[in-house]
Structure 1
Amino acid sequence: MSSLINTEVQPFTADAFHAGKFVKVSDADLKGKWSVVFFYPADFTFVCPTELGDLADNYAEFKKLGVEIYAVSTDTHFTHKAWHDSSETIGKIQYVMVGDPTGRISRNFGVLIEEAGLADRGTFVIDPEGKIQIIEINAGGIGRDASELLRKVKAAQYVATHPGEVCPAKWKEGDATLAPSLDLVGKI
C-alpha cells in the first residue's frame, strides 16, 4: 500500500445526511478548510456508534478549529437518516454523514474491504488545499478517540502555520516545538 500522505483527495460526489436534510457532498467541499474524513464499517453496529458519539461530543471543539467532519460508511444516506432518527447516540450528530454504497470513496482512500463491501476504521485529516496530512487506520474491533484526533489536528495546523517547526511526541497546544537543524542532530 503506497502512502496517501500529501496527496490530493481524489474526485468524488456523494449523497449525505446533514442537519435533517439530504445533501450532496464532493471533494470540492473539503477544500478551503481543514476536514476530517472518518470512515467506519456500518450503521446499526457496535463500536461505530461509540466512535461517532465521541466525535459528536467533541464536534464543537473541532468547529472552533475550523474543522468539518465527514463520517463515511458504505451505507446509504437513507440508512444514515434512519440510524440518526432511531438512536439517541447517533441523534446527537451534527456533522455530515456521507453515504458510499458503491464503495468509490472508501476505495479512493484505500480503506474498502472489498470482500465485505465495508470500510475499515480510517481517519484522514485533510488540509485546506485538499491534501491528506494524517492517516490512521484501525482494525475493526479497535475504536478511535476523538480527543487524540483533536490533538493531532492541532499539531497539523500548528506545523502548517509555523514553517521550520515540528511537533514532538505527545505535543499538546502550548508545548514547546522543535526546529530541526544540524545543532539538534544526536542531541534529542
Structure 2
Amino acid sequence: MLTVGDRIPPFDVQAVVSIEDDKAFTRITEKSQAGKWKVIFFWPKDFTFVCPTEIAAFGKLAGEFSDRDAVIYGVSVDSEYVHLAWRKSHQDLEHLPFPMLADVKREMSQAFGVLDKKEGVALRATFIVDPEGVIRFASVHDLNVGRNVDEVLRTLDALQTDELCPCNWKKGDPVLKAA
C-alpha cells in the first residue's frame, strides 16, 4: 500500500459527476484539479450496505473540504454506468458534489495498493494528498468497517497547519511549540 511521503500514481479513469445523462461522465486523472489538496477514498462495491453511508457522509461535508481547498474523489471497481445507476436509485447519492471514479480495470486500486486479493475489490482506504501530489495521510479499513469522515476532515485541518498538532487536536485549538 502507498503511504505517507509517496507520490500518487498516474491514473486516467471515467467518472460520474451528475445524474443528468448528457452531463453524467467526465475523465479524471491525477493531474485534474492541479494545485488542490485531494481526498481520495476507495470503497469495495456499489449497491452495498456500508458504502452509501460513507459516500453520503463525504457528500454532506463536501463544502467543508472545498472551504479547505480540497477536492474529493470517490473510487470503486464498478463501471461508470453502475455508478450512475446507483446514484439515480439511491436518494442519499443522487446529488453528490464530487466525482465517483470507475476503476473497472482495477489499475488505480492496484497502484495505490488497496486491492483486496481475495475479493478483487478495493479496501476501504483513504488518502489525503497535498497540492504537489504527495500522500500526507493514508488509512485502510477492513471491508466491513466504515470510516469516520469527520476524522478525515480533522486530519486535513491538522495537515494544513504545517504545525505540531497534539492528540485530538481540532481546528482552532492551539498547536504545540517545540522547545
Aligned position for 1:169? 167
Aligned position for 2:83? 80
Residue 13 of structure 2 aligns to a residue whose secondary structure is strand
Q: What is the distance in 2 between the residues matched to 1:57 and 1:99?
A: 21
Give the CA deviation at 1:30: 5.3
Q: Tell me the amino acid that sits aligned with residue 172 of structure 2.
A: G
Q: Considering only CA atoms, is the larger Rg found in Structure 1 or Structure 2?
A: 1
Q: What is the distance in 2 between the residues matched to 1:89 and 1:154?
A: 26
Q: Tell me the amino acid that sits aligned with residue 38 of structure 1.
A: F
Q: What is the distance in 1 between the residues matched to 2:18 and 2:47?
A: 19
Q: What is the distance in 2 between the residues matched to 1:110 and 1:153?
A: 22
TM-superposition CA deviations, 1:156-177 (whole Å, max 9, x none): 1111xxxxx3111111111111
**Matched-pair contact (CA < 8 Å) for 1:30–1:126:** no
Q: What is the distance in 1 between the residues matched to 2:60 and 2:7?
A: 29
Q: What is the distance in 2 between the residues matched to 1:154 and 1:42?
A: 29
**Matched-pair contact (CA < 8 Å) for 1:30–1:128:** no
**Matched-pair contact (CA < 8 Å) for 1:15–1:25:** yes
Change (3 A) 1:30 1:112: farther
Identity %: 37
Residue 125 of structure 1 aligns to a residue whose secondary structure is strand
Give the CA deviation at 1:139: 0.8
1:113-152 paired onto structure 2 within 5 Å = 113-152=116-155
Regions of 4+ moved over 3 Å? none
Q: What is the distance in 2 between the residues matched to 1:81 and 1:60?
A: 22
Q: What is the distance in 1 between the residues matched to 2:44 and 2:15?
A: 16
TM-superposition CA deviations, 1:32-54 (whole Å, max 9, x none): 10010010000000000010011
Residue 14 of structure 2 aligns to a residue whose secondary structure is strand
TM-superposition CA deviations, 1:45-91 (whole Å, max 9, x none): 00000100111111111111111100000001111000000100111
The answer to which of 16-25 and 96-105 deviates more is 16-25
Q: Tell me the amino acid that sits aligned with residue 36 of structure 1.
A: V
Q: What is the distance in 1 between the residues matched to 2:126 and 2:25?
A: 23
How many residue pairs are counted as aligned between the two chains? 175
The gaps in structure 2 that reach 5 residues or longer are none
Structure 1 position 55 matched with structure 2 position 52: no
**Matched-pair contact (CA < 8 Å) for 2:18–2:95:** no
Q: What is the distance in 1 between the residues matched to 2:154 and 2:95?
A: 22
Q: What is the distance in 2 between the residues matched to 1:11 and 1:57?
A: 28
Q: Which one has a larger percent helix, Structure 1 or Structure 2?
A: 1
The gaps in structure 1 that reach 5 residues or longer are 160-164, 184-188
Q: What is the distance in 1 between the residues matched to 2:159 and 2:79?
A: 31
